[in-house]
Chains A and B, each alone.
Chain A
Amino acid sequence: MLLLELTKLSKSFGGLQAVKQVDLKINQDEIFGLIGPNGSGKTTIFNLISGALQLTGGSIKFKEEEITHLKPHEICKRGIARTFQIARPFADVTVRKNVMIGALNKAPSVSEADRITDEVLSITNLLDKKDANGKNLTIPERRRLELARSLATKPQLLMLDEPMAGLNPTEIEEMSELLRHIRKMGITIFIIEHVLQAIMSLSDRIAVLNYGEKIAESTPEEIGANHKGVEAYLGEEYFIAGS
């Protein structure tokens, strides 16, 4: 089933066209990867979908409903959650409270949010850190908290902006495992990632973005096999680093 549909999505900042007429379709239960060099507009697309930025053209449909001009909190209520490229935990608040704030999105009461929080903390392996303040976490813990907080909002679509940045190979493997587990819970994942190895093995489909344009969209195998064409845009290092 079609979950998210971007039609001719465009965004310009003054004279700079950051996103040019991008069409994307994400199906339910998919892990959809978005790759591209720095500044190619990946995060801008996330900001447009989540309502943090207003688009200059095109439309966004979620579950066949137009969500183009909704506010970020309304979009979250509809069932789209996102994480940030640079983890932004609530610094002076405990991990538990951080996740509680997300959990209140769908929970009808504080006690129900409490229950969701316990569940999410255990999935993301943060239980023993629940009383630590956000600012006292290590990088991998921050990444997991970022994920936990958006997971607690009970989304149908989870948009992850480089959840593996700054992690070592073991931590990357753990994060991939966690993401597969989240997909099994029935949550569709839309992921931006620079760690190519991870995104290639995780994703069902991948789109490649360059200068705000979608230059390829296919399965990871095909993207990997036909990377010559893509390489011309992205530079050879991009693929060597990943493979």
Chain B
Amino acid sequence: MLLPASLLRKTLFVLFVLALLSVPFFIRSDYLLTVLIAALYGAYICVCWNLAAGYTGLFSLGHQAFLGLGAYTSTILYVKYKITPWMGMFAGGMIAAVFAASITFICYRYRVKGMFFAVATLAFGFLLQALFMTWDYVNASTGIWLTLQNKPQDFFFTARVPYYWIICVLLVISLLVTYYLERSRLGYYMVAIREDEDVAESLGVNSSQCKVIVMALSAFLTALGGTFYAQFYLYISPACVLSIEPLISMQVGALVGGSGTLFGPVIGWAFFSFLGEFLRGLPLGGTAVGVISRIIWGLSLLIVIIFLPTGMIGLGRKLISLLPFRHQKIATQEIGSGISPSHFTKNEKKED
């Protein structure tokens, strides 16, 4: 019999988490840890974007705004009001969620869908960036520096390992949220909305409600990532957290890895971050590395969009299905279901 898909995924998930958690016990180099933290952070925001864009078809081009709202809220609360970023993080998440929910609702109300929704969110991102560029209260385009210090109660560490644990937890939470959503009523509705919103509505799906919830959730999680960014890099400015840069990372990671899948964004982003590190190791100038990695980003995005709409995950699935032993199994299954279809469904537990 085939190994049930859900069991396979659960095993993979547990192995992945165990591997992640064991890393600090083997790797002592600060450099490597920093690379890994940056990679996990990138994967995390890819997973957040994937919830809205990959699963629900809400192709947001404004997620950098939610990242920025998270980073700025916790930082401003800490710098000006001495509120610990542990709290500020959730305040930022809530603010981002409220903005995301409002934009999504307004877009629904005025029937702004698909590509136009994407453009509307892009406009929101640009607006927010322009606002922060000129707003003195948040130090305008200069940005805000935080001091390097060891204050665990305020989300500051001089060592790398605590940051590693925190981003690990965030990533695992985002994956668990995705995993459970996939199996929930909302998860089914999200996919229905992505596929055909009118049909979804005709089948009893309250699409406006679902879209608002998903965007708010995705923005909330993205904003938590923003706070992490601020605490880890100790500097935020409209040019880094509110620019289109992080958004492009979210997109290439999720799309190249496989949008609308649990592990797609993680695999996609892992590919790009290791590619970046590999290029940095080559004897090239800094500019050349930047240019080459951009070219590879662009090319892989093109290849995926044209030839592999399901991304690396889809490619992997295709390759597995070509393996000879899989063929046999599929063949027996088909013969079996031909004889007595009802028999099969009665005995088969739901796997999807």
Residues of A within 8 A of B (CB): 50-52, 71-73, 76-77, 81-82, 84, 88, 90-94, 96-97, 100-102, 104-106, 110-111, 113-114, 118, 121-122, 127-128, 130, 134, 149-150, 153
Contacts and interface: CB of A to CB of B under 8 A. Distances in A.
A102 B203 CA distance: 5
A178 B147 CA distance: 72
Given A93-B195, A96-B352, A101 B202 contact: no
B204 interface: yes
Nearest to B330: A131
A118 B345 CA distance: 7
A153 B342 contact: no
A153 B203 contact: yes
A101 B200 contact: yes
A111 B184 CA distance: 10
Closest 10 CB pairs of A and B: A105-B204, A127-B341, A90-B195, A76-B204, A72-B201, A128-B337, A101-B192, A102-B203, A73-B206, A114-B350
Contacts of A96: 352
A73, A91, A93, A110: residue with the most chain B Cβ atoms closer than 10 Å = A73
A122 B204 contact: no
B257 to A, nearest CB: 16
A73 B199 CA distance: 10
A128 B338 contact: yes
B204 A73 contact: yes
A73 B350 CA distance: 26
A50 B204 contact: no
A122 B185 contact: no
Interface residues of B, number: 29
A105 B188 contact: no
25 contacts: A52-B201, A73-B203, A76-B201, A88-B199, A90-B199, A91-B195, A92-B195, A93-B192, A100-B188, A101-B188, A101-B189, A102-B204, A104-B189, A105-B204, A106-B204, A110-B183, A110-B188, A114-B350, A127-B341, A127-B342, A127-B345, A128-B334, A128-B338, A134-B195, A150-B202
Interface in B330-352: 334, 337-338, 341-342, 344-346, 350, 352
B192 A76 contact: no
A97 B191 contact: yes
B207 A73 contact: yes
Interface string B52-64: 0000000000000
A66 B198 CA distance: 22
A100 B182 CA distance: 13
Contacts of A52: 198, 201-202
Given A76-B202, A100-B352, 5 more contacts: A71-B201, A97-B191, A101-B188, A102-B203, A150-B202
A71 to B, nearest CB: 7
